[in-house]
Amino acid sequence: MNIRVLSPSGSAARAALGRLRTFGTLIGFLVVVAFFWINLPTTFMTLPNWLNISQQVSMLAVIAFTMTIVMVMGDFDLSVGSMASLAGIAAALIFRDGGAVASGVLIALLIGLVGGAINGFLVSAIGILPFVATLGTLTMFSGAAFVLSGGETIFGRDIPAEFSSFARGGIPLGTVGERALVLPNLSLVALAVLLVVYLLLEQTTLGRRLYAIGGNAEAARLGGVRVRLLRQIAFMLTGVGAALGGLMYASRVASANPTQGGGLMLDAIAAVFLGMTLSEEGEPHVLGTLVGVLILGVLDNGLTQMRVDSYVREILIGAIIVAAVTMSSLEKRKR
């Protein structure tokens, strides 16, 4: 019988490698920040720019935070981008017909809830794979957005000023020189959603049961967890988050377009996968997702300031997704 004895140096190397795997994404984030700080010394590492980044990523953050809820169970939702577009179109049509802001917002969120319920029913009750089910509803929601809008953008003249001004408002923080600093309302909404999702997943029985489903759905079911019901609830929450992200986007640009949420789905999944690499268990955690969102936001902001072609960003995001999934898969295989 062969007995393998690890030397102290070998144990230290393994421990160091484990820490590198765990904190590699965080280290990568700091490297990205340092790169742009060095190359953009007067504009990047400033409070106004970071407030701007927080506003730029707020819509993605809301969708990614709520996407974390379904990814905790080992599922995902490909339809969030289309749902964001549909929610924005629905609200804008209500505004155009003279409806109140509260009515437009409420109906858009209800559409997100219903869309999430459809996804949850297809996955949990019918048993369709999440990829197939949400790929189908992605097309459905996108088609509905085009049908309702007639394929046209609903511009600012049909959007109430109180709705579009929400994205431009915020909490005053003082001034830098002659420039007023404001903590944007959209950033505050994203922070509120972050807090709610964190408390839900990390501090409640519901969150622990969702993680149990992600660990082993059959074992969770045998242990008394209502797997179908919880999957249904999770997809509904993700649908509401997608609709809220769509409303935030429509408020920021003071218009609604049937394709404006198209890029949010891949970015949201990338953010969650990046966050998973920060967990020793390789599980999604919403604070890790926050780091993933910030990485994507910093890349966007820095590359824009450096006047780098937008297609370069797409290459980088694709590489980030592949690297994050690879790291997560290798860690799970090792365990």
In a domain, 95, yes or no: yes
| Rounded-to-integer distance, Cα 118 and Cα 137, Å | 8
In a domain, 146, yes or no: yes
pLDDT computed for residue 1 by the predictor? 47
Residue 199: domain span: 46-262
Q: Exposed, middle or buried, 183 (CB in 10 Å: 0-12/13-18/19+)?
A: middle
In a domain, 222, yes or no: yes
| Rounded-to-integer distance, Cα 194 and Cα 216, Å | 26
Rounded mean pLDDT for each run of 10 residues along the chain, 335 residues in total = 52 58 76 92 91 94 96 93 96 92 95 97 94 95 94 83 90 80 94 97 94 91 91 96 96 91 88 83 88 92 88 79 70 61
In a domain, 148, yes or no: yes
In a domain, 66, yes or no: yes
In a domain, 130, yes or no: yes
pLDDT computed for residue 20 by the predictor? 57
Q: Residue 39 is encoded by which pair of tokens?
A: 């190359």
Q: How many domains does the chain have?
A: 1
| Rounded-to-integer distance, Cα 32 and Cα 306, Å | 13
pLDDT computed for residue 10 by the predictor? 58
In a domain, 317, yes or no: no
C-alpha distance from residue 39 to each of 4, 8, 34, 36, 292 (Å): 49, 41, 9, 5, 22
Q: Which of 277, 312, 274 shows the shortest CA–CA distance to 293?
A: 274
Write down the pTM of the prediction: 0.89
In a domain, 268, yes or no: no
